[in-house]
Structure 1
Amino acid sequence: MTNTLDPAELNAALENVHRAGMPGLFAEVRDGDTTWRGAAGVADVDTGRPVTADMRHRVGSITKTFTAAAVLQQVERGRIGLDTPIGQYLPSSVPGERGDAITVRMLINHTSGLAEYLPYAYPSLKAFPVLADTGPQSMDDNRLTRFQATELIEMGVTAPAVGIPGGTPGVYSNTNYLLLGELLEQVTGTTAERYITRDVIERAGLRDTEFPADPYVKGSHSRIYEAWFGMIDPPRDYSVHDMSWVGPAASLISTVADLNRFFTLLLAGEIVSLSSLEEMQRTVPVISQEGKVIDYGLGLHPMDAPGQTTFWGHGGTVWGAGALSMASADGKRQMSVAVNLQRWNRLDSSGRPQPHPIDDALAALHHMAMYG
């Protein structure tokens, strides 16, 4: 990893992603005391309004790191046991033997065996992430649907299990994190969103990070476009969407600067203790929603290139928006990137996403941002 940021190279790498087909993207990269911010492309394909690096953005499952940190704060205070069965806290949500077998840790690292509720809440997605038989219709049907976490949890808990509690590889599932939201509410006496806002977001001094109170993104932001594997052509604007379908699993709005600040403080032991951070960095194999086996800790996962520095962070997608935030273990080098198009890959005859020029361009940007 080099110690310098090359603005010309970073700007060129951003521009390459835009040229490969991404309407707009923006990023912040930090190296010690040096910060670079850049943006390429448009925030609105109809008007040509440009994206800017300070825009607020839906950051999807990066929310999980905030939720995991909140749970670990409560572990430190003795209110939650990491290896305590969830049934002891939420017996009606996960009843019977499964409630006795699934621990809090298994929810945070996706080894609970609980299924994803998404294809039940959004029926046209069918057996997401198996994509051959899916369609985007549910996304339009549910733009303004106000889901209750309890109904979504019930869909995931009553669906056929995807593994045995504690078994590996685990299977990534938003059901786990909605349960963690219910757990936080149970032990703190306030909603997970309010607790995370007070004890994680405000404690970290993040000024542009919030759980949305309505279907809109407040402040300067980009429109966001969903292609659903080429089935929505041209991609459709999903900027206005009720995010209760993911709550404490993936609904946060943030900026690339706030994300970098959050991961700096987290990896410095300033959001949770260093011993809690150590727990967060203990990984197990988990099958991601893209069907790849990744190493996953407690709301954090590592990313590295062979022989290079390991980075810790999280990625996220919602309808139309994506983000990735990573920081080196010593917190010195960081990158956060936001994009305003999702699921740009078309599917082959077997339903597998085909390579797209955006993939290589993004990988090159990530590598340039992380390693120089």
Structure 2
Amino acid sequence: MRNPLNAAKLNTAMEDVRRAGMPGLFAEVRDGDQTWRGAAGVADVLTGRPVTADMRHRVGSVTKTFTAAAVLQQVESGQIGLDAPIARLLPHLVPGERGDAITVRMLLNHTSGLAEYLPHAYPSLKALPALPETDPSSLDDNRLRRFHATELIEMGVTAPAAGAPGGTPGVYSNTNYLLLCELLRQVTGTTAEEYITRNVIERAGLRDTELPTEPYVDGPHSQIYEAWFGMIDPPRDYSVYDMSWVGPAASLISTVTDLNRFYDRLLAGEVVGPSSLAQMQQTVPVVSQEGKIIEYGLGLHPMEAPGQETFWGHGGTTWGAGTLAMIRADGKRQMAVAVNLQRWNRLDPSGMPEPHPIDGALAALCHAAMYG
């Protein structure tokens, strides 16, 4: 049964998230030919400037669907073999038997066994999800630091392995997607940023989406606030930040409208072909960065509610900014939401995040958007 958009319920759900403690958030929900856009709260806690639904935003790991689509395009053209060992093209980055054992597919679905490099690039943060000894000093140390992708990849490759290549559950790791970006550079002769811009962003007709080369967000945008589990109080503005620490694995800037347009065209077969989309939707169990077992495909993550429809999409977080974008499997219902505060939960004595009213309010907003 179709549940048409209910603007009053969506507006109330947005306000509930703001009242729960979120400075500002904005969203777009689509159902067939209906579109609702809404915003609540402030884009700047100092001036009270309001958020608006057309703002540009750092969308974090939502970027991974764009990167995966670019790789699948090269699979379609015969330049990359999905089950080919990465040693054929990247022997200098993953040498020896390990490079022979890890395939392109394993990078895409996080079953390579390669460790996450972030705890090494940001040593004060320690490793998720248990964080009893964490402190946020690395966030400021690296604010304008320019990382090179191969430097970060080396951190992940030389760290103790997270698992055996191809083993499940896999372990979510940004190292995998930086390697995919290097793979794109090798086979296309251009940077991953340039290839993704030309062949994914522009192909999907996105007008306000880019992979940044500077630490600023151009155009109308919110300030973004990082609380680091209550250790930064009040939360600090990280809207100016050099995103080379994740590159085309998680640095995309977009809008909720562009994200909905992208996932609509992806599922319609306009970004990659139907067979590639089917590959993207083949999932395996993966341990998320929050320590939960999720199902993960090739840059796509299915989100399900018991007895109800499946939605495909991705979530993303960076220092201060969070995003979630999803589309129902039939392509008819969509949601993209952006928030300007991250890691609002405080930690319990074991170092695990404690529940916060924002959690329930965001879940209620997603339910109202997805199911009416």
Give percent identity, aligned residues only: 81
1:255 paired to 2:255: yes
Deviation at 1:20, TM superposition (A): 0.1
Matches within 5 A, 1:231-242: 231-242=231-242
TM-superposed deviation, 1:128: 3.4
1:172 paired with 2:172, answer yes
Q: 1:287–1:293: 8 Å Cα contact kept in structure 2? A: yes
Letter matched to residue 207 of structure 1:
R
Match runs of 1:1-372 below 5 Å = 2-372=2-372
TM-score normalised per structure 2? 0.99
- How many residues of Structure 1 are paired with residues of Structure 2 in the alignment? 372
CA contact (8 A) 1:117 1:153 kept: yes
CA contact under 8 A between 2:168 and 2:284: conserved in structure 1? yes
In the alignment, is the contact (CA less than 8 A) between 1:128 and 1:134 conserved in 2?
Answer: no
**Partners of 1:235 and 1:127 in 2: CA distance:** 21
Aligned AA (2:158): T
Provide Cα deviations, 1:241-300, integer angstroms capped at 9, x if missing partner.
000000111000000000000000001111000000000000000000000000000000
Indicate conservation of the 8 Å contact 2:130/2:350, yes or no.
no
C-alpha contact 2:128 2:290 (8 A) present in aligned 1: no
Using the alignment, how far apart are the partners of 1:161 and 1:129 within structure 2?
Answer: 17
3-state SS, counterpart of residue 119 of structure 1 = helix
User: Unmatched 5+ residue regions in structure 1?
Assistant: none
For 2:311 and 2:221, the matched residues in 1 are separated by 27
Separation in structure 1 between the aligned mates of residue 78 and residue 55 of structure 2, nearest angstrom: 38
**C-alpha distance in 1 between matches for 2:126 and 2:328:** 38
Q: Match of 1:325, SS?
A: strand
Native 8 Å contact 1:118 1:128 kept in 2: no
| One-letter amino acid matched to 1:99 | G
Task: State the Cα distance separating 1:138 from its structure 2 match.
Answer: 0.3
SS at match of 2:289: coil
Q: TM-score scaled by structure 1?
A: 0.99
Q: Residues 76-132 of structure 1: CA distance to partner in whole angstroms, max 9, x if unpaired? A: 000000000011110000000110000000000000000000011111012234311
C-alpha distance in 2 between matches for 1:323 and 1:157: 28
Root-mean-square deviation (CA, aligned residues, Å) is 0.6
Cα shift at 1:63: 0.2
Separation (CA, whole Å) in 2 of partners of 1:133 and 1:273: 46
Give secondary structure in 2 for the equivalent of 1:326.
strand
Deviations 1:116-166 (A, max 9, x none): 000111110122343111110000000000000000000000000010000
CA–CA distance in structure 2, aligned partners of residues 288 and 131 of structure 1: 15
